[in-house]
Chain A
Amino acid sequence: MNEFIKYTVNIAKGLHMLCSGMYITMLNMIRPKITEQYPENRGKKTYFENFRGELVMPHNENNEHKCTACGICMMNCPNGTIQIVTSVLTDETGKNKKALDRYVYDLGSCIFCALCTSSCPQGAIQWTNAFEHAVYTKDKLKKQLNREGSTLMTKNRQ
């Protein structure tokens, strides 16, 4: 008799567990779906703020950037992704000053470690969420971050 009670209790317990399992799967069934339909949701989806997609150098409306061409980012970069080409300018006081000529960033060799942005004393470069990097040739991954004819932002304008 004792055995029989155990047997029936066992079946009842099993049934209860099966029902609770099916309840959980049903909850999952009616939950909103998390699949992202990529080409359709292009531009509609917001990504995490700290997702590192691509390095950019923000410019203001006067085509000015904050990069002083100090080269710290280039030195910090672990695999030579950043190349800074400078030219020397002489200002009105007669002092020689380095100015940014071209800021070349090779997306193909970047490991997205963010040592450049964290070490930049001016906050001149930052990350965006852009992730559609596919191109047909490797050269297209080499990008110039400063725009044509851009100059250094002066202090009083800031």
Chain B
Amino acid sequence: MYSFKDITDGIDSILHLFLNDTFATLAELILAGLALIGAYAVLALTLIYAERKICAAFQCRIGPSRTGKWGVFQTVADMIKILFKELIRLDHNDRFLFRVAPFIVIIASMCTFAALPFAKNLHAIDFNMGVFYLIAVSSLGVIGILLAGWSSNSKYTMIGAMRSGAQLISYEISAGLSLLAVVILSGTMKISEIVEQQSEMWFIFRGHVPAIIAFFTYIIAGHAETNRGPFDLPEAESELTAGYHTEYSGIQFGFYYLAEYLNMFIVAAIAAVMFFGGWMPLHVSGWDGFNYIMDCIPSFIWFFGKTFACVFIALWVRWSFPRLRIDQLLNFEWKILMPICLINIILMSLIVVF
């Protein structure tokens, strides 16, 4: 199943049998939304399970192993538990913003998630400035984090939210600039076209040194954006108990948890799309037999394989390095990462021009 075109076209024609054009489009939108929400939840459970297993491996442990074979149902059990937990009401806080904040975080994460190309012809939001859209909506989440920190009326959440704001605003620049290098190379911001252009060779191999530098800077900036890895200052548990979501409980906390893991997935997926060709199999021009074998592997396996490889890098980094101090974090961004990104863009432009 290399392409999903048959399935999507089939659903489209079936809907047009029963409904007129407007309602068919509406039904398709709703179906796509439901599918995305379902995929979001399933992916979150998978990611949490993978994280727990891989963390355990890094610490010479086994990890969850009791619930089902190899503990595969552990995260499902955790999810059921978190759904039944009490939502604790706080006194002296801004109740409306407190309720709204988790939704903003998860909506921002959902919007970014919807714009990813999961497989050939399986791409919900695709328009001519897709990369710009991705960068724009993925940084909306910080509003939710800031609101959570403010509305909880607690010093831990406030400091966590402020750190998160400073961190996200700084690292957004590096992430954007490193994606800009790829945009210069491809000459388009449309995600489907970026993927299509990598049918000959992935950008990380085609883009010479600047693409590799851009990949590493993007991975670093992406970790910082998702508040993970050595950059988890906003929720530094030894200093701030849990950072911006200290006062949340039950499914409200669950939303932050889900959004955190899905943001990790989204960053890895964007890295996979921009540098490793998304769902595009590994093609070497001239080797027709090799290309044919690579085409036999379904496109969604390529996409998820690449993405999970990037997720693995995120976890590897997370368990390798100690947490940075806030001044070190900002120094790193403004004095090292951003200059490298700017020089990289110049290099990339030179390579594209000549």
Contacts and interface: CB of A to CB of B under 8 A. Distances in A.
Contacts of B336: 11
Contact of A22 (B54, B57, B61, B320): B320
B316 A37 contact: no
B317 interface: yes
Contacts of A26: 316
Contact of B58 (A11, A18, A25): A25
Interface stretch (A28-36, A89-97, A131-139): A28-36
B62 A25 contact: no
A25 B319 contact: yes
Given A29-B57, A31-B60, A33-B61, A18 B321 contact: yes
B320 A37 contact: no
A111 B340 CA distance: 64
A24 B320 CA distance: 8
Interface residues of A, number: 14
Interface in A12-31: 18, 21-22, 24-26, 28-29, 31
Given A11-B336, A22-B317, A35 B62 contact: yes
A21 B320 contact: yes
Nearest to B332: A14
A146 B278 CA distance: 74
B59 interface: yes
B65 interface: yes
Contacts of A28: 58-60
B317 A37 contact: no
A21 to B, nearest CB: 5
A22 B317 CA distance: 7
A29 B58 contact: yes
Interface string A24-64: 11101101011101000000000000000000000000000
Interface residues of B, number: 16
Contact of A25 (B56, B61, B316, B340): B316
Contacts of A18: 320-321
A33 B321 contact: no
Given A11-B336, A29-B57, A33-B57, A22 B316 contact: yes
Q: Which of A29, A35, A37 has the most CB of B within 10 A?
A: A29
Interface string A63-104: 000000000000000000000000000000000000000000
Given A11-B336, A26-B316, A34 B321 contact: no
A33 B316 CA distance: 17
Contacts of B316: 22, 25-26, 29
A31 B61 CA distance: 10
Nearest to B339: A7
Nearest to B322: A21
Contacts of B58: 25, 28-29
Interface string B60-72: 1110010000000
A4 B319 CA distance: 32
Given A18-B321, A21-B320, A22-B316, A37 B65 contact: yes
Interface in B48-93: 54, 56-62, 65
B320 A25 contact: yes
19 contacts: A11-B336, A11-B340, A18-B320, A18-B321, A22-B316, A22-B317, A22-B320, A24-B320, A25-B58, A28-B58, A28-B59, A29-B316, A31-B60, A33-B56, A33-B60, A33-B62, A35-B61, A35-B62, A37-B62
Interface of A: 11, 18, 21-22, 24-26, 28-29, 31, 33-35, 37
The 5 A-B pairs at the shortest CB distance, nearest first, are namely: A25-B320, A35-B62, A21-B320, A22-B320, A29-B57
